[in-house]
């Protein structure tokens, strides 16, 4: 195992946490999964002609789009659960707040992007935090954003029932500033990001199995050697005239 030289997390814990995240990734896709959301062969026909891309390339793009959508939540797992390895009272509860430090009375909700919450979810999250600081007057609640507009640790001001409200104990914090609070290192998050490609590569090299298993093309070719025809028959085989479809 490489020495990742991060003072706030051990080599072993970092490697194992990255491995847990990687193993949650979706590696297998077959034709049934591929067509779960009903592939539109007409759109693929337009895309291939308009963008002058060969059909296998477009299908691969769609496969990766589907896989990427299911993998997004696993990145949330990585961001949240890494804090249980940092010690000093930091924990990841099974329910309630995403990250907690009972010693410091800090309670954290994590969001991937600054623009992912609508007005309803904003109001609900803020209300939960208000309730928490009523019960814990010395506590602080953080909305931690992985991808924020800027590096920040500011009072979170929201509009509830047409009234602007804020409380010094309820704060909006970018992930780099949160890492600084947790570790005491100003550039801890930057240092983690620098090491992450190395750790992921080490993890991938440690996994013996073939990573990606994709049977979509093989199954399409069983319908017809003509991939475009297969896509049309996949969606329209029960439509009038498609028992004699040629393209």
Q: Over 80: is that where the pLDDT of 92 sits? A: yes
Taking the domains of the chain in order of start, what are their residue ranges?
11-82+204-244, 85-196
pLDDT band at 141 (very low <50, low <70, confident <90, very high): very high
Say if residues 139 and 133 touch (Cβ distance below 8 Å).
yes
- pTM score, whole prediction: 0.80
pLDDT band at 203 (very low <50, low <70, confident <90, very high): very high
Say if residues 122 and 87 touch (Cβ distance below 8 Å).
no
Say if residues 8 and 198 touch (Cβ distance below 8 Å).
no
pLDDT value at residue 210: 57
Cα(228)–Cα(233) distance, integer angstroms: 9
Share of the chain above pLDDT 90, in %: 59
Q: What is the pLDDT of residues 154-196, one digit of tens each?
A: 999 988 777 889 999 999 999 999 999 999 999 999 999 999 9
Q: What is the pLDDT of residues 24-80, one digit of tens each?
A: 887 788 888 888 878 899 999 999 999 999 988 999 888 888 888 778 878 989 999
The residue ranking higher by pLDDT, 140 or 28, is 140
């Amino acid at each position: 195992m490489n020495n990742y030289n991060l003072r706030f997390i051990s080599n072993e814990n970092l490697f194992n946490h990255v491995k847990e995240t990687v193993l949650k990734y979706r590696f297998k896709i077959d034709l049934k999964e591929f067509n779960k959301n009903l592939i539109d062969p007409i759109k693929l026909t337009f895309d291939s002609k308009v963008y002058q891309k060969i059909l296998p390339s477009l299908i691969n793009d769609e496969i990766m789009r589907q896989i990427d959508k299911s993998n997004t939540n696993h990145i949330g797992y990585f961001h949240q659960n890494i804090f249980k390895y940092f010690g000093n009272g930091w924990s990841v509860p099974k329910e309630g707040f995403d990250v907690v430090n009972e010693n410091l009375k800090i309670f954290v909700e994590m969001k991937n992007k600054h623009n992912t919450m609508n007005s309803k979810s904003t109001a609900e999250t803020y209300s939960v935090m208000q309730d928490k600081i009523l019960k814990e007057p010395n506590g602080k609640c953080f909305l931690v954003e992985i991808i924020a507009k800027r590096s920040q640790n500011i009072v979170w001001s929201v509009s509830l029932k047409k009234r602007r409200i804020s409380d010094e104990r309820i704060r909006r914090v970018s992930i780099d500033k949160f890492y600084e609070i947790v570790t005491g290192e100003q550039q801890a998050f930057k240092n983690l990001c620098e090491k992450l490609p190395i750790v992921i590569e080490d993890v991938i090299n440690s996994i013996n199995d073939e990573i990606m298993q994709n049977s979509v093309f093989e199954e399409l070719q069983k319908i017809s050697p003509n991939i475009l025809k297969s896509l049309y028959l996949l969606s329209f085989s029960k439509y009038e005239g498609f028992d004699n479809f040629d393209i």
